[in-house]
Chains A and B, each alone.
Chain A
Amino acid sequence: MVRKNNQDQKGQPTPAAPAPSTTEPTEPAEPIPEPKPPVQVFYCAVCTFPVEYCEFGSSLSKCKEWLKDVRVDLYERFYSEDALQAKIGTMSLEAQSKLEKDAVEKEAKADAKADAALKKKLASQITIKRIERNKRKHVTAIHGLEAFGVDLKKAAKQFASKFATGASVTKNAQGLEEIVVQGDVGDEVFELIEKQVGVLKGIPPDNVEFVEDKKKKSEGA
């Protein structure tokens, strides 16, 4: 403790060069207090809020289900009849029932949105395109991974290290980002997707489409 105290005194005045003496007097007078322990906050795994705020999120019914499962004591504390009565506090009953109605609507909206996003995601295609650069040289362009929340730079890195080759994120002729890997590695890429390796987790192999791009053909077909 004493040693730490000295360190602090030594460390503090130096950066505050213009007025070194102003902060000093109060500190050394009393011993350095023990650090205050942090408050442990129990956060909701569904909406990420402290559980007491789930009622203001957009997933209340799911939050409640989860809390009942993991901490029935807290569930009782927040959602029993008495708790519901008590928490209304200074709010009018009218405002409270509006709040509850809002929570239900919010959740329905959020669900519909998530549904639509999921549908869109499940329907989106990934293309693996073999592009002929010259007679025996190919590159492989992978497009559409970002729709599944994949970080393209990370995926390119993963391909580069897996195949010991070059890989980069570039914009294609349509201005869309894609990953270009040196070499004819389409089958290997597909295999990684099938095995759900690394950042490719969650990508449905069924959505993968193979495309061939020969030199003689016109671009972007």
Chain B
Amino acid sequence: MFKRFSLSSDVSGQTPVKSSIQRSIRNAVLSQWKIESSTLEVLWPKKEALTHVKCKDHLSIYAVQGEPIFFQHSDGPIYPTLRVLHRYPFILPAVKVDRGAIRFLLAGASMMCPGLTSAGGYLPPDDTPLEAGVPVAIFTEGKEHAAAIGITKLSTIEMRKVNKGVGVEPITYLGDEFWAIKTV
């Protein structure tokens, strides 16, 4: 998604978000992420203005004090930025790919089921599965921090059962052009 992205060519404008809309965005974040309002308050204090960075292809980036905090495509799910996920790793459900998949992940490749189901990978157990189309933190074998944020293309039960094809599509990853943008 962010393989090609640059502030100078993809951004069409920045506007402060009205407080009534901020409230509904805050509620959407609280309902979509596993985060308590007191923790979100630290990340995005109510007294701080939220800036809407409007980009090409219906992409919206939201920033607090110049730092991108989350983003959204049209009215799709709200994703934290990878740096925010690093600080609050629990806000998205976790999957893990094995070490062999890391270099492909950091090149933006789709994560195939075997990389998630192998001994070095991880998927939540079948009694607490994830549906298809869910934002996930992509952790990697042997590493503490997430390498990417992605979206499930199959339910985790199917990933285990079928064990081939794309399991998780990366949305943003270490070293992509969105990672390079620390401030807007």
Contact = CB atoms under 8 A, between A and B. Distances in A.
B145 A90 contact: no
A158 B42 CA distance: 36
Contact of B38 (A14, A23, A35, A88): A35
A2 B15 CA distance: 34
A8 B175 CA distance: 38
Given A33-B38, A35-B36, A57-B175, A52 B24 contact: no
Given A16-B27, A38-B88, A52 B144 contact: yes
B106 A56 contact: yes
Given A48-B179, A91-B99, A36 B36 contact: yes
A91 B98 CA distance: 8
B150 to A, nearest CB: 16
Interface string B47-64: 000000000000000000
B151 to A, nearest CB: 21
Interface in B103-126: 103, 106, 118-120
Interface residues of A, number: 34
B116 to A, nearest CB: 13
A36 B120 contact: no
B87 interface: yes
A32 B179 contact: no
A88 B98 CA distance: 10
Contact of A89 (B27, B43, B99): B99
A95 B100 contact: yes
Interface in B16-48: 20, 23-24, 27, 31, 36-39, 41-43
A8 B37 contact: yes
A89 B24 contact: no
Nearest to B102: A56
Interface residues of B, number: 37
A52 B143 contact: yes
Contacts of B179: 48
Nearest to B83: A41
Given A49-B174, A90-B99, A95-B100, A16 B88 contact: no
A49 B140 CA distance: 14
A4 B45 CA distance: 13
Contacts of A163: none
Contacts of A53: 106, 143, 145, 147, 174
A34 interface: yes
B67 to A, nearest CB: 13
27 contacts: A14-B23, A15-B23, A23-B27, A23-B31, A32-B36, A32-B38, A35-B39, A35-B42, A36-B90, A38-B88, A39-B88, A41-B87, A41-B145, A47-B175, A49-B175, A50-B144, A53-B106, A56-B106, A87-B99, A87-B142, A89-B98, A89-B120, A90-B98, A90-B118, A90-B141, A91-B99, A95-B100
Interface of B: 20, 23-24, 27, 31, 36-39, 41-43, 83, 86-90, 98-100, 102-103, 106, 118-120, 141-145, 147, 174-175, 179-180
Interface of A: 4, 8, 11-12, 14-16, 23, 32-36, 38-39, 41, 47-50, 52-53, 56-57, 86-92, 95, 99, 102
